[in-house]
C-alpha cells in the first residue's frame, strides 16, 4: 500500500507547476559564495528572505516523489535526485517567495475559513487523527507549519488568478493540432494473445542436457501438430510455468516491446492459429501458440480529447506562470550563495 502523503496540500508546487524543468538554462542570478552562508546553510537570498539547504532538500524529495508517481523520472535520476531536481527546487522556492511577496504588496489576505476548511480536508484524507499526526511527524511538520503552507498557497492562487483568467481558452483547433503533431502519445503497440509451453533449463546445464530438453519440447510440438494431444493438455502436463499451465499456458494479451527479444520475434512473426518453432531464452525453451494478433492502432481523437484539453490548459498555466515570475525576477535582486557546482559536490552520489 502506498502511504498517504501531505505533499499535495502543503507545498508550493501543489497549486503551482514546477517553474523550470531539469536541464534547462539557469536563472540570471548573482553567485556570492561566503563562509557565513555555508555555516547557516543558506543557499539563496531575496527580498529579505532566505532559502536554506533544508528547504531545498525537502522540496527535492517532494518533486522526486511526484516524478516517481507520475513516472516522469528514470531510476538513475531518482537515485541522483538531490542534484537532478536541485535547480527545479530552487526555482520553485524562488517563485514561491516572489509570489507571496507580490500578494503582500497587493494586500491579499487568505480567508481563515478557507484555511480551516483546507486543513480539515487534508486531515480527512487519513483514516484517523493518529494516522494524520504520524504522517506529519514523518515529514517533520507541525500544525502551524501546515496551516502556514496552506495560507501561502491560497495567497499564491489569488495572485495568479487574474494571470490565469487572461489565458485564451483552448480551442478544438488547438486540440486537433496537438493530436496531429504528437502521434506517439496516441498510438497503441501491436498486441498478441498467446499461450506457451515452457521447459526450464538450469544455468549449469551442459550443452548435451540443453539439447535433450529442446528435443523433448520439439517432440511435444510435433505431437500437438499431429493432434495426438491438444496444446492445453500438453501445457498442463509438461510446462514448467505452473502459474499458467492449468489454463492452457495462456499468457493473455502481450504488447510488442515488453517481451524478451526471442519470444517477441517468435510471436510476432507467426500467423494466428499456428505454433512457433521452439524458441530459446535465458530461462529455457518455449513453444508458443499464437491465438490472435492485433495490429498497432491509434486512439480516436474523441476518446482522448478531454485529456488533451486538460494537458493544454495546464501547460498554458505553466507558461503564463513562468512568464509572470520571470517578470518579477527581473525586478528583484537574487543572490545565490552556493554555486550549482558546489551543491553537486556536496550531494552527488558516487
Residues 306-322: b if buried by 16+ CB within 10 A, e if exposed: eebbebbeeebbeebbb
User: Using CA atoms, how far apart are residues 284 and 212, in angstroms rounded to an integer?
Assistant: 12
Which band of pLDDT confidence, cut at 50, 70 and 90, is reported for residue 288? very high
For residue 341, the model assigns a pLDDT of: 94
Three cell numbers written together for 38: 555555508
| 96-100, 142-146, 271-275: the lowest-pLDDT one | 142-146
| Arithmetic mean of pLDDT, 97-104 | 96
What pLDDT was estimated at residue 29?
A: 35
Instruction: Report the distance separating Cα 297 and Cα 299, nearest Å.
Output: 7
Question: Residue 19 above 60 pLDDT?
Answer: no
Confidence bin at 139 (pLDDT 50/70/90): confident
Asked if pLDDT for residue 199 goes beyond 70, the answer is yes
Higher pLDDT, 72 or 304: 304
- The whole-number pLDDT of residue 31 equals 37
Instruction: Compute the 3-state secondary structure of the chain and give helix, strand, coil in percent, each to the nearest 5.
Output: 55, 15, 30
Q: What is the mean pLDDT of residues 265-289?
A: 95
Arithmetic mean of pLDDT over the chain: 87
Mean pLDDT of 255-283: 93
Relative to beta strand 30-31, strand 334-336 is parallel
Q: If you average pLDDT over residues 194-213, what whole number do you get?
A: 94
Query: 286 with 195: CB under 8 angstroms?
Result: no
Selection from 156, 62, 161 nearest residue 102 by Cα = 156
Q: How confident is the model at residue 189 (pLDDT cuts 50, 70, 90)?
A: confident
**258's grid cell:** 515488453
Q: Residue range 93-102: average pLDDT?
A: 96
Percent of the chain at pLDDT > 90 equals 77
pTM > 0.85: yes or no:
no
* 26-47 residue pLDDT tens: 333 333 344 444 445 999 999 9
Mean pLDDT of 286-290: 96
Amino acid at each position: 500500500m502506498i502511504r498517504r502523503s501531505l505533499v499535495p496540500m502543503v507545498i508550493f508546487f501543489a497549486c503551482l507547476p514546477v517553474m523550470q524543468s531539469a536541464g534547462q538554462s539557469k536563472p540570471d542570478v548573482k553567485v556570492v559564495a561566503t563562509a557565513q552562508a555555508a555555516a547557516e546553510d543558506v543557499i539563496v537570498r531575496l527580498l529579505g528572505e532566505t532559502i536554506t539547504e533544508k528547504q531545498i532538500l525537502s522540496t527535492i524529495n517532494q518533486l522526486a516523489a511526484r516524478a516517481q508517481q507520475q513516472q516522469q523520472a528514470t531510476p538513475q535520476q531518482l537515485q541522483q535526485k538531490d542534484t537532478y531536481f536541485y535547480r527545479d527546487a530552487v526555482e520553485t522556492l524562488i517563485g514561491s517567495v516572489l509570489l507571496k511577496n507580490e500578494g503582500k504588496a497587493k494586500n491579499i489576505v487568505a480567508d481563515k475559513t478557507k484555511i480551516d476548511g483546507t486543513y480539515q480536508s487534508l486531515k480527512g484524507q487519513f483514516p484517523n487523527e493518529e494516522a494524520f499526526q504520524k504522517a506529519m511527524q514523518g515529514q517533520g511538520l507541525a500544525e502551524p507549519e501546515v496551516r502556514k503552507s496552506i495560507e501561502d498557497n491560497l495567497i499564491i492562487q489569488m495572485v495568479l488568478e487574474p494571470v490565469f483568467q487572461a489565458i485564451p481558452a483552448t480551442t478544438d483547433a488547438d486540440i486537433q493540432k496537438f493530436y496531429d503533431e504528437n502521434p506517439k502519445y496516441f498510438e497503441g503497440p501491436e498486441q498478441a494473445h498467446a499461450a506457451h509451453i515452457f521447459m526450464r533449463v538450469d544455468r549449469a546445464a551442459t550443452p548435451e542436457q540443453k539439447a535433450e530438453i529442446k528435443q523433448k519440447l520439439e517432440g511435444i510440438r510435433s505431437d500437438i501438430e499431429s493432434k495426438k494431444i491438444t496444446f492445453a493438455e500438453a501445457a498442463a502436463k509438461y510446462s514448467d510455468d505452473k502459474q499458467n499451465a492449468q489454463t492452457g499456458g495462456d499468457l493473455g494479451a502481450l504488447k510488442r516491446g515488453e517481451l524478451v527479444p526471442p519470444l517477441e520475434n517468435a510471436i510476432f512473426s507467426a500467423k494466428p492459429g499456428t505454433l512457433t518453432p521452439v524458441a530459446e531464452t535465458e530461462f529455457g525453451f518455449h513453444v508458443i501458440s499464437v491465438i490472435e494478433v492485433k495490429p498497432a492502432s491509434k486512439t480516436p481523437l474523441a476518446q482522448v480529447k478531454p485529456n488533451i484539453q486538460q494537458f493544454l490548459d495546464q501547460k498554458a498555466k505553466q507558461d503564463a506562470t513562468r512568464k509572470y515570475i520571470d517578470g518579477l525576477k527581473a525586478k528583484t535582486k537574487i543572490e545565490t550563495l552556493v554555486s550549482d557546482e558546489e551543491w553537486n559536490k556536496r550531494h552527488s552520489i558516487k
